[in-house]
Amino acid sequence: MTRRTTAGVAMAMLILLIAADLTASPPNPYRQPAIVALGSGAASAGGFCGALPE
C-alpha cells in the first residue's frame, strides 16, 4: 500500500463530509455576505478558535 491509497481515503472522507452536510444544511446563495469584509460595514461574525461563545 502506498500514500496513493491513504491520500485517496483522506479525499473520500472530505467529499463524504461535504456531501452529508450539503444534504442536511444546503447553502443559500441569496443570503451571502459582501464579497470582502473590509469596507463592508458589517461586523465580523464568524466562528473562531479564540472566541468564547456569544
Partner 1 sequence: MTHSIAGRSTLVAGALVLILSVAIFAGVRFGLLLMIGLGFGLVLEGLRFGFAGPWRAMIVRRDPSGMLAQLMAIGIVATVALPLIDASGGELVGAEAPVGWAMIGGAFVFGMAMQVVLGCGSGTLVNAGSGNPIGLLALPFFAIGSFAGAYHLIDWTELGALPIIRFTGWSGVAITLTALLGVAVFFLRQAAPEHRSIPRRYLIAAVLIAVLAIANLIVVGQPWGVVYGLGLWVAKGATASGMDLSGSAFWAASGSVERVQSSLLTDYTSLTNIGIMAGAFLVASWRSGGLSQGMPTLPMRAWLATIVAGFLLGYSSRLAFGCNVGAFFSGVSTGSLHGWVWFVAAFIGSIQGVKLRPLLGLEARS
How many residues sit close enough to partner 1 to count as binding (CB under 8 A)?
47
DSSP state of 48: -
Annotate each residue in 15-44 with x if it binds partner 1 (CB under 8 A) or - if it does not, as one string: --xx-xxx-xxxxxx--xxxxxxxxxxxxx
Q: Which three cell numbers stand for residue 46?
A: 464568524
Would you say 42 and 34 are in contact if contact means Cβ atoms under 8 Å apart? Answer: yes
Residue entry with cell 444534504: 23
Q: How far is the CB of 36 from partner 1 (least distance, A)?
A: 5
Q: Can you tell me the distance from the alpha carbon of 17 to that of 11, in angstroms, rounded to the nearest whole number?
A: 10
14 sits near partner 1 (criterion: CB under 8 A) = yes
The residue ranges that bind partner 1 (CB under 8 A) are 1-11, 13-14, 17-18, 20-22, 24-29, 32-54
